[in-house]
Structure 1
Amino acid sequence: MGRTQLLKLLLSVVILVITLMVVEYQIGWYSLLTSWQGFSAGTLALLVVLSLCSNALRALRIKISFELPAERYPQMFYLSTNHNLLNNLLPMRTGEVAFPVLIKRYFGIAVVASTSHLLLYRLLDLVALLSIAGVLALWQSDQVISVVIMLMTLFGLLLFDRGKQLVVWLLGRFSSPKLAKLAQAFSDLPTRGGHFGAIVLTTYAVWLTKLLAFLGVVLQLSQLTLAQAVTSVAIADLSSILPIHGIAGSGTFEAAFVLAGKLYAIDTTALLTVAVQLHLFLLLMSFVAFLLGWLVAKIFSRQTTLKTGTE
């Protein structure tokens, strides 16, 4: 491990420790964890199902995007949950590296091709998160602006193919074999027609289920309005792209949530309390989804082995 990587790791550990200490001093971990007793079993089960559905839809997006066979969906689900868990645990989005590695291992898809698809996912994720959050946050106060956001989003999605063509043209200006491969990978991306439309719809379904689960946690555990909750959740989620944060996103996730809530002049302690609870829910569901994905993949692998053996 290089000196720079070691310093980043140490900084991540320091941020985690500081976060744990601040939460204990401001709130108290015991009172924070016992507040979950206010959830009814039915409500908690619904939020868990919504969160797992979001993971299942991410796997469906992979199937649609690469046009993979439906019978191998269990492997896609495991791949997706594994990738999601690493993204939530590792700093600076380094968990993204898992996606091309895993998809090459399970499906033999080249790293350049899978990386270009991953970039498409992330651009669509950003569009979906911002547009859904914008509409939800503003719908009650200004429906006209909400409709404008919808129309601008639709127009932006229609420009994806033009943007791809521009990138391919720019890459083609260089006489490099590696850039030529990258240009070809971008050229092959589905950015128009029914194929692209299916990827877009699946992406929006991913974010609707994820945001509903997160908003359910926030609204149940706080007095925030829908607009306040949506703003804080969206900005907290975007904090994952920051270059430095604590282990498993600790510190920056909570700080982003609190800063967003301060736009509405909400008490800092109240915001920190629900931010930590939401972060714990996010991490717990990442582990649950990963374990479920691992189990499903194991069962699928065993059934495939038995079927091959009987034939």
Structure 2
Amino acid sequence: MKFPVVASRQSWFIRNRMTLLTIAIVAAYALFIQWFWGWSVILKQWAEVGVIPVVGALVLLTSTYFLRTWRIHDYFPRETAGRFKVLFRITQIHNLLNIMLPFRTGETSFPVLMRTEFGIPLARGTSALLVMRLLDLHALLAAAGIGFAIASPHTIIAWAVWTAFLVVPVIAFALRRPLLRLAGKLLPSKAQKLVIEIERGLPLNAAAFARAWAMTVINWLVKVLVLAWALSLMGVLPMAASFGGALGGELSSVLPVHAPGGVGTYPAGITAGAVALGASSEKTALAALAQASINAHLLIIVSALTGTAISLPLGRTRKL
């Protein structure tokens, strides 16, 4: 039997565990930056960029979270009707967990939260998330392909390959029914329900798929362009290198290998992408690029925390 004081403390920790987890991770990252760079160096670069560009970039990045929420609402219009605020809060919790937890483990929160709040089966929520993540990855790879196609000496072949890759989602969606029927025939009878739930997790029709695809492209276009702009303001040149850095960082965030909070992996992705598209690889230039990548990563984390702060008073889930 638990004493009232112990039970009360446990209840408090349960109610505030997201906040406590966030504070702990942010504090650890702050100590890491102080140890490796020193906050005076980081803040000096922000001061050189200026308040207005930083705030503008933060506002634009935060706005993409509303677009993500709308994409999910469009996936589940009946279940989420009239509850956009609650859905936005869930989206922000999922986004923050996805950023802070390693190896994409934060992704598991999405189907759980959608089932808890909206009664959406786990298989359906998981399949919808898988489709959205595949669209995300495709959009980023297609954007990266533009840079490589421009730089390729075999222009016609490069653009032909890029165009073929661009229409892969359309072909996959067009063939979804025969592919699902084939899966239904090959899988045992106990797995038939899973196939049905996966089909339910896909966009309902071509129009819904087109909307999901369009929202995905707009979301990543805004995010990548804002990050590229921020990197260019911090001295990452030429502009193609800033664009490559933004793509590299975001690609690192959607791939399975992802450190807690993106510490190390996100800045490394920015550095690799920038160098691949023209940034100097000299020692001094690489040091400046590494510092800019840390600042861009901080911008992403601050935007996620801002979105979460906005979502907290908008609606609370019944159970978490």
Q: Which residue of 2 aligns with 1:7?
A: none
Q: State the 1:31 CA deviation.
A: 1.1
Query: Which shows bigger deviation, 85-94 or 269-278?
Result: 269-278
Superposition pairs for residues 219-298 of structure 1, below 5 Å? 219-241=232-254, 245-263=258-276, 264=278, 265-266=280-281, 267-297=285-315
Specify every segment of 5 or more residues in structure 1 that has no aligned partner in the other structure, as ranges: 1-12, 302-311
Specify every segment of 5 or more residues in structure 2 that has no aligned partner in the other structure, as ranges: 1-24
Count of equivalent residues: 282
Q: Which residue of 2 aligns with 1:206?
A: 219
Cα separation, 2, equivalents of 1:149 and 1:37: 43
Name the CA shift for 1:72/1:216 in 2 (closer, same or farther; >3 Å). same
Q: Which residue of 2 aligns with 1:76?
A: 87
| 8 Å contact kept, 1:50–1:212 | no
Superposition pairs for residues 97-108 of structure 1, below 5 Å? 97-108=108-119
TM-score of the aligned structures, taking structure 1 as reference length: 0.80
The aligned amino acid for 2:187 is: F
Cα separation, 2, equivalents of 1:195 and 1:243: 27
- The percentage of aligned residue pairs carrying the same residue is 27
Cα separation, 1, equivalents of 2:233 and 2:50: 10
| 8 Å contact kept, 1:168–1:187 | no
Structure possessing the higher relative contact order (Cα contacts under 8 Å, 6 or more residues apart): 1
* 3-state SS of 1:224 partner: coil
* 3-state SS of 1:295 partner: coil
Q: State the 1:154 CA deviation.
A: 4.1
Cα separation, 1, equivalents of 2:231 and 2:100: 21
| 8 Å contact kept, 1:92–1:244 | yes
TM-score of the aligned structures, taking structure 2 as reference length: 0.77
Q: State the 1:148 CA deviation.
A: 4.2
The aligned amino acid for 2:292 is: V
Query: Which shows bigger deviation, 140-149 or 168-177?
Result: 140-149
Q: State the 1:238 CA deviation.
A: 2.0
User: Are positions 1:47 and 2:57 aligned together?
Assistant: yes
| 8 Å contact kept, 1:214–1:278 | yes
Q: Provide runs of 4+ in structure 1 moved above 6 Å.
A: 140-146
Give the root-mean-square deviation of aligned CA atoms.
Answer: 3.0
* 3-state SS of 2:167 partner: helix
Name the CA shift for 1:252/1:72 in 2 (closer, same or farther; >3 Å). same
